[in-house]
């Protein structure tokens, strides 16, 4: 094994890509542990955080005190949590409101339900509702009721404490839902990697079995299986994927089915051609002469000898399965929005590309590219190593 690794590492680029691939694989496995947020927990998102650029600090929205005051002759006092809200008449038709939140600065105060002719000094009125918003309130807030102070004045006060910076930062920014991009990418790697690996592995199992069967039985079985593969290969793979998902619907399991439907042909063809060469070897005749069962001969004798080329194809097909899943998700038929894969993230960032919100699409794109390229380089290196003609 160490000899194998040393030989592998003779190509520096391949060694680097292997490390990168393992890093991505690590991300896939450890995603829940290492990602700063859980990007699937929709309730944790805040629209306040949407589309923040990379490096933004996450702000915690401050508390809000709400109290409904019923002022008699312009005087009222009401407790709201830890705050005390007081209304005092200064002059007829002019009252001052103080929100005493234990000395804390307030972010905004909203006053709702004032009579139509009342107004609040320095405040913005809501265009439809009777709501006045005071930003950066300087205490006290002055409420004017026009002519004179009404005998009874009912209204509601909402006072917001300012947002406080939390420890967490959005290293790679946020998307349009306020989802942390870094977490989304790590979980995206997880989904892409798992879909790629399981999809390609499933294709290998299905394809190799069919290929071995074709080689072993020959004749009609061979013809049927291989013509099926030929037919399959004449349809563009994205088309097969789109059709499958249109019929079956969205979901990880459906994507896996699509990948296996697309990729089994490559494995079947390779397994068949390698197995045909192996079948001519004397050891297969020896095994038949020893009356071992065909299943045993195929699985214990022939398959292990076919594995090296199949494993090379497996690595390369993991990369192509990842690309395929990304393409399908980008086209919107892949995974649901709630479980974004890298392709999905790219798709959702694509609409913001022209409004300078580059990070939503670029970062998942770069990660996807690195992942596909490094897996491919690893596959190429394996192919070189297993090719006896290049071996010395």
Which is nearer to other proteins, 195 or 287 (by Cβ)?
287
The site that binds other proteins (CB under 8 A) totals a number of residues, namely 20
**With CB under 8 A as the contact rule, which of the stretches 107-115, 150-158, 285-293, 337-345 interacts with other proteins?**
285-293
Give min distance, CB of 288 to other proteins, in A.
6
Give min distance, CB of 325 to other proteins, in A.
33
Q: Please state, in angstroms and as integers, the Cα–Cα distance from residue 125 to each residue in 42, 110, 162, 323, following that order.
A: 32, 10, 20, 52
Give min distance, CB of 221 to other proteins, in A.
15
**Residue in this structure with the two tokens 């070189």, named with its chain if needed:** 384
Give min distance, CB of 234 to other proteins, in A.
21
Of the candidates 5, 7, 70, 91, which one interacts with other proteins according to CB under 8 A? 7
Stretch 60-99: interaction string toward other proteins, x if CB under 8 A: ----------------------------------------
Are the CB atoms for 86 and 98 separated by under 8 Å? yes
Give min distance, CB of 279 to other proteins, in A.
11
State the Cα–Cα distance between residues 172 and 49, nearest whole angstrom. 13
Which is nearer to other proteins, 106 or 287 (by Cβ)?
287
Closest-CA residue to 213 (of 200, 226, 228): 226
Of the candidates 4, 167, 282, 356, which one interacts with other proteins according to CB under 8 A? 282
State the Cα–Cα distance between residues 186 and 193, nearest whole angstrom. 10
Q: Does 238 bind other proteins (CB under 8 A)?
A: no
Bridge partner list, 64: 160
Q: Does 220 bind other proteins (CB under 8 A)?
A: no
Give the containing element (helix H, strand E) for 60: strand 56-60
Are the CB atoms for 71 and 87 separated by under 8 Å? yes
Which is nearer to other proteins, 126 or 300 (by Cβ)?
300
State the Cα–Cα distance between residues 198 and 204, nearest whole angstrom. 10
The CA angle 322-44-62, to the nearest 5 degrees, is 145
Which is nearer to other proteins, 92 or 304 (by Cβ)?
304
**With CB under 8 A as the contact rule, which of the stretches 55-63, 65-73, 112-120, 277-285 interacts with other proteins?**
277-285
Which residues, 288 to 327, sit near other proteins by CB under 8 A?
Answer: 288-293, 296, 300-301, 304-305
Closest-CA residue to 104 (of 146, 57, 160): 160
Give min distance, CB of 8 to other proteins, in A.
13
Which is nearer to other proteins, 21 or 208 (by Cβ)?
208
Of the candidates 247, 285, 351, 387, which one interacts with other proteins according to CB under 8 A? 285
Question: Dihedral through CA 26, CA 319, CA 332, CA 54, nearest 10?
Answer: 50
Give min distance, CB of 316 to other proteins, in A.
22
For residue 186, give every residue at least 6 positions away whose Cβ sits within 8 Å of its Cβ, in sequence order, or none. Answer: 27, 31, 34, 35
State the Cα–Cα distance between residues 350 and 51, nearest whole angstrom. 13
Q: Does 25 bind other proteins (CB under 8 A)?
A: no
Which is nearer to other proteins, 94 or 301 (by Cβ)?
301
Which is nearer to other proteins, 233 or 279 (by Cβ)?
279
Which is nearer to other proteins, 124 or 288 (by Cβ)?
288
Rg (Cα) of the chain, in Å, rounded?
33
Tell me the two tokens of residue 111.
Answer: 């006053």
**With CB under 8 A as the contact rule, which of the stretches 67-75, 114-122, 281-289, 347-355 interacts with other proteins?**
281-289
Closest-CA residue to 294 (of 221, 380, 201): 221
Give min distance, CB of 351 to other proteins, in A.
53
For the chain, the 3-state helix, strand and coil shares in percent, each to the nearest 5, are 55, 20, 25
State the Cα–Cα distance between residues 88 and 28, nearest whole angstrom. 61
Which is nearer to other proteins, 6 or 126 (by Cβ)?
6
Bridge partner list, 94: 91, 144
- DSSP label at residue 75: B
Closest-CA residue to 263 (of 212, 211, 330): 211
**With CB under 8 A as the contact rule, which of the stretches 46-54, 134-142, 256-264, 286-294 interacts with other proteins?**
286-294
Q: Does 37 bind other proteins (CB under 8 A)?
A: no
Tell me the two tokens of residue 256.
Answer: 């896996």
- Chain residues binding other proteins by CB under 8 A are 3, 7, 281-283, 285-293, 296, 300-301, 304-305, 392
């Amino acid at each position: 094994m160490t000899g194998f690794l040393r030989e592998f590492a003779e190509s520096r680029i391949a060694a680097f890509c292997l490390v990168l691939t393992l890093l991505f694989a690590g991300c896939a496995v450890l995603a829940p542990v290492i990602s700063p947020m859980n990007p699937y927990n929709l309730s944790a998102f805040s629209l306040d955080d949407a589309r923040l650029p990379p490096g933004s600090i996450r702000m915690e929205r401050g508390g809000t005190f709400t109290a409904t005051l019923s002022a008699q002759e312009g005087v009222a006092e009401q407790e709201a949590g830890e705050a005390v809200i007081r209304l005092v008449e200064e002059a007829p038709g002019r009252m001052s409101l103080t929100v005493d939140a234990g000395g804390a600065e307030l972010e905004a105060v909203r006053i709702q339900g004032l009579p139509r002719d009342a107004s609040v000094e320095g405040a913005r009125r809501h265009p439809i509702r009777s709501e006045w918003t005071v930003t950066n309130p300087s205490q006290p807030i002055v409420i004017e009721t026009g002519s004179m102070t009404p005998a009874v004045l009912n209204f509601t006060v909402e006072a917001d404490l300012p947002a406080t910076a939390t420890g967490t930062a959005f290293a790679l920014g946020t998307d349009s839902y306020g989802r942390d991009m870094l977490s989304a990418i790590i979980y995206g790697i997880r989904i892409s990697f798992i879909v790629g690996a399981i999809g390609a592995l499933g294709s290998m199992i299905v394809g190799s079995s069919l290929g071995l069967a074709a080689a072993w039985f020959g004749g009609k079985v061979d013809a049927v299986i291989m013509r099926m593969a030929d037919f399959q290969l004449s349809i563009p793979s994205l088309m097969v994927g789109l059709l499958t998902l249109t019929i079956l619907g969205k979901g990880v399991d459906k994507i896996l089915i699509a990948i296996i439907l697309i990729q089994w042909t490559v494995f079947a063809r390779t397994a068949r051609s390698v197995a045909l060469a192996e079948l001519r070897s004397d050891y297969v005749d020896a095994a038949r002469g020893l009356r071992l069962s065909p299943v045993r001969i195929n699985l214990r004798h022939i398959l292990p000898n076919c594995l090296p080329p199949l494993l090379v194809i497996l690595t390369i097909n993991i990369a192509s399965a990842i690309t395929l899943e990304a393409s399908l998700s980008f086209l919107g038929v892949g995974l649901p929005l709630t479980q974004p894969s890298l392709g999905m993230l790219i798709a959702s960032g694509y609409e913001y590309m022209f409004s300078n919100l580059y990070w939503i699409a670029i970062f998942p794109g770069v990660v996807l590219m690195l992942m596909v390229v490094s897996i491919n380089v690893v596959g190429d290196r394996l192919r070189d190593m297993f090719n006896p003609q290049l071996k010395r």
